[in-house]
């Protein structure tokens, strides 16, 4: 019986590849017409720009036209396909990008942050190289994935920890199988035929988590007269020409969108609880390409006359540092002068000042997303996994202990280098399903999961930080490699070094970090390793490499 993979973005493609390498029969499902997932740029938006209406017409993509990655492309690549100019046929082209963005990309150094078109081209090259298209049903939406307990008497294997099913689970009892209902979609996104039912040994969930907007509950939002939208539906800045725009949220999308919109807006206010750099929280000076962006505390209320009310100040602690600052005893959710606040050691504490009320024309909520798995919501055992800012009860962000590897999630963690981690997750899943790897007992997995939640609670971290990793990603990646088997290589040391350098570069040069590089050592290590890999790749796949380079150059 085959394995199902839901989604054909980066996580889905590498999952299909690893399952095939392990000898599994695989059927992938992708609701779009091509591989690439969220990296496929779509000018269409939800019919409700806020993304609040449950009956809205929905789009999957969240990319805006001029987006560039916040990580060097060398850092992002899979283990067998370097994401470098040598394999990509030159600088990563971004057909949808503006001329200004394209000039910046083409003028950048070798180590740079690719545009969305470059990332999409890389993923399509990966799919071509491994001939993955034939294993994916495109324009196909999964409606339901329902667990079906296997018939009594199914064969099982034993390990030293617990009763282990043939698919690598340590659950007691028979392996869970799955009934998947899917439907073919037409060009208009509507069903073309009756839903189809198929049975699978396992379901790998790789549908991403950038489609279901998370919205704050702001008093007065329903009667505020200006434009309100979630960044999921932001595409281009031109719509905000000469306007006063409030951007809510200061994570990656908030910092990027506020700078991009400021190129055409009269002024931009970015409102947040906390900042990526502690120093930003105490600097009242406008910033951005035109020095017309200011930082404020969180939006506290919207008024019917178009005014926006902000909290009186904002702590200088950093949301991006998140759990690390909490571990250091820093209170980061400090938004008013009446709230107790501890300063970051060595950083002067000063609350941002400004008018408590200010008129605005538009608000863009860059407030993150919820994990949404509508196809799991039809069964009581899996419905609880969908719709929150974290996926509850998972062992190591991947498995429901009582179900085991027959339901596996790839790509839930955030603040990570995504593609290499997806690959390691997929390797582990493929080997669990073939029996070459095994999970701990249900009791041990539940205890490990409980310890993770207890640590969050002890740190005072909200549940939305459940899958946030940052520096913890490297230990997690090493665990994935160890769990998959001794022949699975761990990531080389230059990757965490380059990641750390990128973060420091971003904090020091927030307006231009994508086009400069100051860590020559990690860049040299990366270049040497990836050049050798590129040479091996071209020797092994000369025709594919030439065809991909020609397509990119055309």
Strands 140-149 and 163-165: what pairing? unpaired
Instruction: Give the pLDDT confidence of 132-180 residue by residue, as tens digits.
Output: 999 999 999 999 999 997 654 343 333 334 444 444 554 434 468 999 9
**Is pLDDT larger for residue 418 or for residue 517?**
418
Q: Where are the beta strands (DSSP E) in 250-397?
A: 267-271, 293-296, 299-302, 307-310, 357-359, 362-365, 369-370
Q: How far apart are CA 166 and CA 160, in angstroms?
A: 14
pLDDT over 50 (residue 194) = yes
Which pLDDT belongs to residue 65? 95
**Is pLDDT larger for residue 265 or for residue 272?**
265
Q: How far apart are CA 299 and CA 371, in angstroms?
A: 24
| Phi/psi at 359 (5° precision) | -70, 145
- For the chain, give the mean pLDDT: 84
Is residue 89 very low, low, confident or very high in pLDDT (cuts 50, 70, 90)? low
Q: Which of 30-44, 99-113, 236-250 has the lowest mean pLDDT?
A: 99-113
Q: What count of other Cβ atoms lies within 10 Å of the Cβ of residue 224?
A: 20
Which pLDDT belongs to residue 193? 85
pLDDT over 80 (residue 99) = no
Of the chain, the percentage scoring pLDDT greater than 90 comes to 66
Which pLDDT belongs to residue 134? 98
Beta-carbon contacts of residue 377 (< 8 Å; ≥ 6 apart) = 383, 386, 387
**Is pLDDT larger for residue 321 or for residue 481?**
481
Residue entry with tokens 């779009």: 32
Tell me which H or E stretch contains 476: helix 473-484
**Is pLDDT larger for residue 163 or for residue 253?**
253
Which pLDDT belongs to residue 529? 84
pLDDT over 70 (residue 281) = no
Average pLDDT over residues 52-80: 94
Which pLDDT belongs to residue 356? 78
Which pLDDT belongs to residue 266? 98
Instruction: Give the pLDDT confidence of 489-547 residue by residue, as tens digits.
Output: 999 999 999 999 999 888 888 888 988 887 778 878 888 888 888 888 777 766 655 55
Which pLDDT belongs to residue 284? 80
pLDDT over 90 (residue 62) = yes
Degrees (nearest 5) of the Cα angle 150, 153, 158?
A: 95
Of the chain, the percentage scoring pLDDT greater than 70 comes to 80
Backbone angle region of 311, left / alpha / beta, with phi > 0 → left and psi within -120 to 50 → alpha: beta
Average pLDDT over residues 394-417: 98
pLDDT over 60 (residue 453) = yes
Which pLDDT belongs to residue 168? 56
pLDDT over 70 (residue 302) = yes
**pTM for the predicted model, two decimal places:** 0.87
| DSSP class per residue in 255-276 | HHHHHHHHTTSSEEEEE-S--S
Which pLDDT belongs to residue 12? 99
Work out the widest C-alpha separation in the chain, in whole angstroms.
71
Backbone angle region of 88, left / alpha / beta, with phi > 0 → left and psi within -120 to 50 → alpha: alpha
Instruction: Give the pLDDT confidence of 34-55 residue by residue, as tens digits.
Output: 999 999 999 999 999 999 999 9
Which pLDDT belongs to residue 350? 37
User: 357 is written with which tokens?
Assistant: 């009320």
pLDDT over 50 (residue 234) = yes
Instruction: Give the pLDDT confidence of 330-378 residue by residue, as tens digits.
Output: 333 333 333 333 334 433 333 444 557 899 999 999 999 999 999 999 9
pLDDT over 60 (residue 320) = no
Residue entry with tokens 């001329």: 99
Q: Which of 24-28, 63-67, 102-106, 519-523 has the lowest mean pLDDT?
A: 102-106
Q: What count of other Cβ atoms lies within 10 Å of the Cβ of residue 465?
A: 19
Is residue 256 very low, low, confident or very high in pLDDT (cuts 50, 70, 90)? very high
Q: Walk me through the domains of the chain, giving residue ranges and CATH numbers.
A: 1-35+132-162+173-212+368-487 (3.50.50.60), 66-123+488-554 (no CATH), 215-367 (3.50.50.60)
User: 400 is written with which tokens?
Assistant: 């429901």
């Amino acid at each position: 019986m085959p394995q199902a993979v839901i989604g054909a973005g980066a996580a889905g493609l590498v999952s299909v590849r690893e399952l095939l390498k392990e000898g599994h029969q695989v059927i992938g499902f992708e609701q779009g017409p091509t591989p690439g997932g969220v990296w496929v740029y779509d000018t269409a938006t939800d019919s409700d720009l806020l993304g609040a209406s449950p009956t809205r017409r929905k789009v999957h993509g969240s990319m805006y036209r001029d987006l560039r990655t916040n990580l060097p492309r060398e850092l992002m690549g899979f283990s067998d396909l370097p994401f470098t100019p040598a394999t990509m046929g030159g600088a990563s082209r971004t057909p949808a990008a503006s001329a200004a963005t394209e000039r910046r990309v083409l003028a950048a150094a070798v180590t740079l942050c690719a545009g969305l078109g470059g990332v999409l081209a890389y993923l399509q090259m990966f799919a071509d190289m491994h001939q993955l298209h034939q294993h994916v049903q495109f324009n196909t939406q999964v409606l339901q994935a329902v667990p079906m307990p296997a018939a009594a008497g199914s064969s099982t294997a034993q390990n030293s920890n617990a009763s282990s099913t043939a698919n690598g689970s340590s659950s007691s009892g028979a392996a869970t199988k799955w009934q998947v209902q899917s439907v073919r979609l037409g060009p208009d996104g509507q069903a073309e035929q009756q839903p189809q039912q198929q049975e699978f040994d396992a379901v790998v969930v790789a549908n991403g988590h950038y489609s279901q907007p998370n919205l704050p509950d702001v008093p007065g939002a329903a009667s505020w007269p200006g434009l309100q939208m979630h960044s999921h539906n932001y595409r281009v800045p031109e719509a905000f020409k000469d306007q006063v725009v409030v951007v809510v949220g200061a994570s990656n999308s908030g910092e990027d969108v506020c700078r991009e919109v400021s190129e055409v807006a009269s002024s931009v206010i970015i409102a947040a609880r906390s900042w990526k750099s502690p120093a930003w929280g105490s600097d009242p000076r406008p910033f951005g390409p035109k020095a017309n962006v200011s930082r404020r505390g969180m939006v506290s209320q919207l008024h019917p006359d178009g005014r926006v009310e902000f909290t009186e100040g904002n702590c200088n602690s950093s949301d991006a540092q998140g759990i690390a600052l909490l571990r250091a005893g820093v209170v980061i959710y400090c938004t008013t002068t009446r709230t107790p606040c501890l300063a970051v050691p060595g950083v002067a504490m000063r609350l941002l000042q400004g008018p408590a009320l200010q008129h605005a024309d538009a608000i863009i909520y860059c407030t993150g997303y919820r994990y949404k798995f509508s196809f799991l919501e039809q069964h009581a055992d899996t419905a609880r996994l969908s719709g929150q800012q974290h996926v509850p009860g998972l062992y190591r962000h991947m498995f429901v202990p009582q179900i085991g590897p027959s339901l596996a999630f790839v790509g839930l963690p955030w603040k990570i280098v995504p593609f290499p981690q997806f690959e390691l997750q997929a390797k582990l899943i493929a080997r669990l399903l073939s029996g070459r790897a095994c999970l701990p007992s249900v009791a041990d997995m539940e205890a490990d999961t409980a310890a993770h939640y207890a640590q969050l609670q002890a740190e005072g971290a909200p549940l939305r930080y459940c899958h946030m990793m940052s520096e913890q990603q490297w230990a997690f990646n090493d665990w994935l490699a160890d769990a998959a088997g001794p022949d699975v290589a761990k990531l080389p040391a230059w990757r965490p070094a380059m990641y750390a350098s990128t973060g420091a570069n971003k904090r020091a040069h927030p307006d231009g970090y994508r086009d400069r590089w100051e860590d020559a050592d990690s860049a040299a290590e990366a270049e040497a390793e990836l050049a050798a890999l590129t040479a091996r790749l071209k020797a092994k796949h000369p025709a594919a490499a030439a065809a991909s380079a020609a397509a990119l150059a055309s």
